[in-house]
Structure 1
């Protein structure tokens, strides 16, 4: 009986210890958040999460599109990449990719322009603005990528003309053809953008929710993001790594 009591007491003490550590961690992260809000004018909603960084004494502050680092009091802040010199790995980049991973299966693909290349077995999504020069560059790159289905979410964020062109492309009889004609051959879409363009409004809301702050933003089938006009080699390698 005494042995059982001792075991129960040990288990209770261990549980209290874990709860104490958790409470202490919560107090620290709450303090950091409050300090950054008051001193830097950071909105509480902009801070998505705060957790311990791989480097002792540092805390990772997730701002959605950026990770910064703070000490335990919020007195000092570091911006930039944290690099593991042993593994030659950019920890900040890897962590941001992990935090911003997308559930591809939940993307509303019906709101995207679908282009099938070859057998179309591989899949990727792109948030793209029709007037974005880097988006044009990516479309040229995609000409050399085969056996892939590309779902382009029209994401007009650069100008009013971007919205006009997006609506015209969406209202075209052949959206894929209208999109590629403009992005690759610079043949402006001619359809009147008077059809139901609610999909474009939905895309803008979805992109904001997913922290899509630049175009193009590529999303692979495993949820990995590739920001910017990635090269053909990098894109092919990334597509091949998807399992």
Structure 2
């Protein structure tokens, strides 16, 4: 399924309000969902919910949230930002609605790197040729006491698949991954090996609406899209209980 909407380049600053969307469906949301599903064709709508703004509805497309009037005649594409705190409310909602069961992830299919005591845990879907993924790896260099499970997710090019397989078949996967992402040292496979884990990662990512790299999942199941700055990532990990 193609993602037909792209977020507006700049966040749309909205007057301060509490997001607190109701998850309880009513006749209006049911009718609106049916109308938009017909008009948007193959775009799957996960849910429609009220917002605190009268006449404005949240439309959850899984990887994206857009906003609609009650009749589905107009759609607003962009992020809702709370002006007082500058908090991105749209991203917060996406993180919450796309929360996963972290413990159920197939960690055997990930490249594992332990830093310090490894007490904090994150999972990252990453492409070896993704510049933002390399930026995230640079940020991770300054973060201690974390276990990073990297699910190789080669979505950018055939070369991404080749590099992922070489890293997976290396004698030390963690070292091969970091050497490539941080120092641009090409991975060298120790020999042929079973690379079915990479295909499984691709299927897993698609089922979890991972439509870009890097995508970070915290231990409480929340997701953080993009190259999260080191200070923000450290803060988010520390907030997990």
> RMSD of aligned C-alpha atoms?
1.9
Q: Give the match for residue 11 of structure 1.
A: none
**2:162 maps to 1:138:** no
Q: SS in structure 2 opposite 1:226? A: strand
Contact kept? 1:167, 1:193, Cα under 8 Å? no
The verdict on how the C-alpha distance between 1:193 and 1:165 changes in structure 2, with shifts beyond 3 A counting, is: farther
2:17 pairs with 1:28: no
Question: Per residue, is there more helix in 1 or in 2?
Answer: 1
TM-score (norm 1): 0.83
How is 1:11-90 mapped onto 2 (pairs within 5 angstroms)? 25=26, 27-39=27-39, 41-43=40-42, 46-85=44-83, 89-90=87-88
Task: Check whether the contact 1:170–1:193 (CA below 8 A) recurs between aligned residues.
Answer: no
1:203 counterpart = 2:197: no
Match of 2:17 in 1: none
In 1, are the aligned partners of 2:32 and 2:72 still within 8 Å (CA)? yes
Unaligned runs of 5+ in 1: 1-21
Is residue 164–residue 193 contact of structure 1 (8 Å, CA) maintained in 2? no
Deviates more, 1:160-169 or 1:50-59: 50-59
CA change 1:223–1:193 in 2 (3 A) is farther
What is the distance in 1 between the residues matched to 2:214 and 2:36?
A: 31
User: Deviation of residue 89 (structure 1)?
Assistant: 4.1
Work out which of the two has the higher radius of gyration on C-alpha atoms and give 1 or 2. 1
* Residues 108 and 160 of structure 1, relative CA distance in 2, 3 Å threshold: same
Mapped contact 2:171–2:190 kept (Cα < 8 A): no
SS in 2 for 1:60: strand
Alpha-carbon offset, residue 141 of structure 1: 1.3
Deviations 1:136-183 (A, max 9, x none): 111111111111110000000000000001011111111111111111
1:87-133 C-alpha deviation (Å, 9 max, x unpaired): 65433222111101121111111110000011111111110000001
1 CA distance for matches of 2:219 and 2:48?
Answer: 28
Q: For residue 209 of structure 1, report the CA deviation from its aligned partner.
A: 0.9
Aligned-pair CA distance for 1:80: 1.9
Deviation, structure 1 residue 192: 6.2
Change (3 A) 1:186 1:54: same
Provide Cα deviations, 1:33-73, integer angstroms capped at 9, x if missing partner.
3322333x3325x2111121221212211001111111222
Q: How many residues align?
A: 218
Specify whether residues 164 and 88 from structure 1 end up closer, same or farther in structure 2 by C-alpha distance, changes over 3 A only: closer
SS at match of 2:125: strand
Does residue 183 in structure 1 map to residue 181 in structure 2? yes
Structure 2 matches for 1:158-173, cutoff 5 A?
A: 158-173=156-171
Specify the alignment match of 2:4 in structure 1: none
Report the Cα distance in structure 2 between the residues aligned to 1:173 and 1:90, rounded to whole angstroms.
Answer: 42
Helix, strand or coil at the partner of 1:207: helix
Tell me the TM-score normalised to structure 2 length.
Answer: 0.84
Residue 99 of structure 1: aligned partner: 97
Task: Answer yes or no: is the 8 Å Cα contact 1:31–1:74 preserved in 2.
Answer: no
